[in-house]
Amino acid sequence: MKVGIITAEINSRSGWAQYSLELIGALRSLGVDLTIVASRSAAGADFAILPPLAESQSGLLLSLLRSYGAVRAALSSCDIVHTLVEPFAPLGLRVAGARPHVLNAHGTYAVLPMTRRWPVGALYRHAFERSTVACISTYTQDVLRRHASNARSVVIPAGVNAQAWQDAARDSEPFEKDGPIVLFVGAVKRRKGILPLIRAMPAVLKQAPNAKCVVVGSLTAEPETGAEARRLVDELALGDRVQLLGHVSHADLLRWYRTADLFVMPSMNDGLRFEGYGLVYLEAGSLGVPSIGTWECGARDAIDHEQTGLLVSQALVDDELPAAIGRLLTDPDRLRAMGVAALEKANRTTWRKSASQFIALYESLLRGAP
C-alpha cells in the first residue's frame, strides 16, 4: 500500500503543520510507504509545489488548479490519496480520481469553506461529500454532518507526544507560588474563553483566596480581545491575581505546567468557529495537570468529564465555571486523582494509535468496505 499525502507545512509552528509532522512520522514508523506533496516552503516534502495556505480562498483555489497536473504526476503511483488540510480538499479529490480519498476535518475549517459564496462553497461541499472525512473529534463530526449531510465520516483523534513533554519537563523547576495556580495556555482570543475565565476569578478567590490565574499566550492575536482582557482585570480589581504574560519561552512554559494545579481553557464557539479538539488539554495531562473545558466543542473528547477534569456549559459558563474551578481547588485529593487520570489518558493517546487507525481506514477503503 502506497499513500499520497497532500498537506501544507510540516513543522511545529501551527496546529495544521504540527499535525502533519506528527502523523507523517507515525505512519512512517509503522512502515507505510508515503509520497508527500506540500507547500512550496515546506521542509520534509517529496514535492514542495503547492501554494501557501495564507492565500485568499479564491486565490488559493486558482493556485491549486494550476498545480493539479504536477500533483497528479507526483502521486500517480499511490493507491490512496490523503489530504491533511481542509483548504486543499478540492485538489485532493480531483487528484485521487477513482482512487479513495481521505480528508481530515480538524475543526472550524470542517465547515467554513462550505459557507463561501458560490462557486467556492459548492466546490468544497462536493469535495467533502465525495471523500471519506476523518474528523478529529465527535463534535467536529456532528458539525460536519449538519453542513454536509452526505459526507462519509469517521472519528480519528489526534495523538499527543506525552513522552516528549515529560522528557522536556524533567529538569524544569516549578515557579514559586503562595497558592494554587490556574493556568491558561493559548492565544488570547474570544473563542478560547479567556474573558469568562477572568470573569470567574472573583468568585474563585472567595473559595480559594490565594489562587492565581496565569495566562500564557499572544495578547495581540486578537488585539481587541487582549485589550478587553486587560480592562477586565483592572475593572474587577484582580491585581496580581490574574497575570497576562503574553508569549514565554518554551522553558518557562514547561515551568508553568510544572507549577500549575489546574489547566482551564473554557472554549466558546464564535459563530462557525469552534475548538475542534483541544490538544492543549492532553499536553497539560502529559504533565499530570487536569483540565476544565466546555461541552459544546471538541474538548468533550479531550477531557473525560469527572475523571481527567470537568466540562461546563458554554451557555451557563459564568455560573458553572467559577463553581467548577472552586470545587477542584478546594478538594486537593480529587484534583490529584484527576491529574493521575489525565496523565494516564495522555499516555494512551499516542500518534502511533492515530496512525494505526488511519492504516485500518486505508485498508478498508482499498477493500471497498463502506
Going by C-alpha positions, the residue among 286, 290, 340 that lies closest to residue 166 is 286
**pLDDT at position 360, please?**
98
Q: Distance (Å, rounded) from C-alpha 303 to C-alpha 292?
A: 8
Q: What is the pLDDT of residue 334?
A: 97
Clarify whether residues 344 and 329 are in a common domain. Answer: yes
Three cell numbers at 194? 479567556
* Under 8 Å between Cβ of 130 and 148: no
Give the predicted TM-score (pTM) of the model. Answer: 0.93
User: Is the same domain home to 119 and 234?
Assistant: no
Answer yes or no: do 133 and 244 share one domain: no
Q: How many CB atoms lie within 10 A of CB 338?
A: 26
Residue among 105, 112, 120 at smallest CA distance from 269: 112
In a shared domain, residues 177 and 117: no
Same domain, residue pair 127 and 9: yes
Residues 154 and 183 in one domain: no
Angle at 200 between CA 197 and CA 205, to 5 degrees: 120
Distance CA 221, CA 207 (A): 32
- My answer on whether 307 and 360 are in the same domain is no
My answer on whether 199 and 325 are in the same domain is yes
- Average confidence (pLDDT) per 10 residues, the chain, 370 residues: 96 87 97 96 91 72 91 98 96 97 93 81 92 97 90 96 96 96 96 97 97 97 96 96 96 97 97 91 98 97 98 98 98 97 98 98 89
183 shares its domain with 212:
yes
Enclosing domain of residue 235: 162-348
Residues 257 and 318 in one domain: yes
> Using CB atoms within 10 A of its CB, is residue 156 exposed (0-12), middle (13-18) or buried (19+)?
buried
* Pair 109, 167 in one domain: no
Domain count, the chain: 2
- Does one domain contain both 10 and 146? yes
- CATH number, domain of 306, equals 3.40.50.2000
